[in-house]
Structure 1
Amino acid sequence: MTARTSAGILLHRGGPRHTEVLLGHMGGPFWARREEGAWSVVKGEYEAPEPAWEAARREFAEELGLPAPEGEPVPLGEVRQSGGKVVTVWAVAGDLDPGAVVPGTFTMEWPRGSGRQRDFPEVDRVAWLTLDEAARLIVRAQTVFLDRLAAHLAGPAP
């Protein structure tokens, strides 16, 4: 069995001294009252043969209802999350208004066992966060992407 794969874009603005990243708070009833560990890079699942970068752009548009940013993508690599999903992320410099986001939705049975299907937003809110704020709130395995972005923005070591 192959691992589930996900690809995403870590949108960032500012410079090495004051960097902000755009994260999404995961939608649905499980995450509704959680903050720490409930924020994520804007990403989504894909399957071969779709290229990961194309999936990242598609998922950005689907999850936020806005076109993917046009900036130069900087590969931040991949990480395996605790549930086994392999996440690949690119950093892209850009800006957007979180108030303009129109999130995509997913359907699930809720409450569980009720037989009723309900729609929930993929992300129930997005926000610009400093790297320190983001590190406190993001899914633990994804903190490596924040570190890699900070290292990239700092440039090569002297």
Structure 2
Amino acid sequence: MKQSAGILLYQTDPLRFFLVHPGGPFWKNKDLGAWSIPKGEFSSDEEPLSAAIRELREETGHVLKPDSDFRKLESVKLRSGKTVHAWALEKYVDAENTVSNTFEIESPPKTGRKLEIPEVDKAGWFTLEEGLEKVNEAQRGFLLEVRRLVEDS
């Protein structure tokens, strides 16, 4: 079964979350429920936290130190059956300076016309309420778990 790993960056006072919006024609006009934590697939021989740090760098251009104070969150299963492993880290990054890697797709399909599109076309910081509306439904638990961690500390 496929697995993804990602990082949920957050800030406190007020509590805010860093989320990304996927690039490409399919996602262009989708907003609510379309955003995600920066994440991506990893192979069975790759350590999940290392993959999560790599994916955040690839999708946003922001670099994290491997020895940062990551907090493991409960994994979630997407409708597709894919499992998403996530870690939370209290850290600010400038959403305006997000630079994503790109990939190539055929668009429109079966035309032979290739488009190079960013994996992430925008990023932003959102309050819990905004984040719960914007983020993919299966990932809402990540935001709620961070809220509990912050409230308990």
Shorter-chain TM range is: over 0.9
TM-score (norm 1): 0.92
Partners of 1:46 and 1:108 in 2: CA distance: 20
Aligned with 2:11 (options 10, 13, 19): 13
Structure 2 alignment gaps of length 5 or more: none
1:66: how far off? 2.0
Deviations 1:12-32 (A, max 9, x none): 0124xx200000011111000
Asked if residue 90 in structure 1 is aligned to residue 92 in structure 2, the reply is no
Percent of pairs with identical residues: 36
TM-score (norm 2): 0.95
Structure 1 alignment gaps of length 5 or more: none
Where do residues 97-136 of structure 1 align in structure 2 (5 Å cutoff)? Answer: 97-136=94-133
SS in 1 for 2:112: coil
Asked if residue 29 in structure 1 is aligned to residue 25 in structure 2, the reply is yes
Q: Aligned pairs, how many? A: 152
Contact 1:40–1:139 at 8 Å: present in 2 too? yes
Partners of 1:85 and 1:116 in 2: CA distance: 30
1:68: how far off? 2.3
User: What's the Cα RMSD here?
Assistant: 1.2
Asked if residue 50 in structure 1 is aligned to residue 46 in structure 2, the reply is yes
Read off the aligned partner of 2:130 and give its amino acid letter: E
Asked if residue 80 in structure 1 is aligned to residue 77 in structure 2, the reply is yes
More strand by share: 1
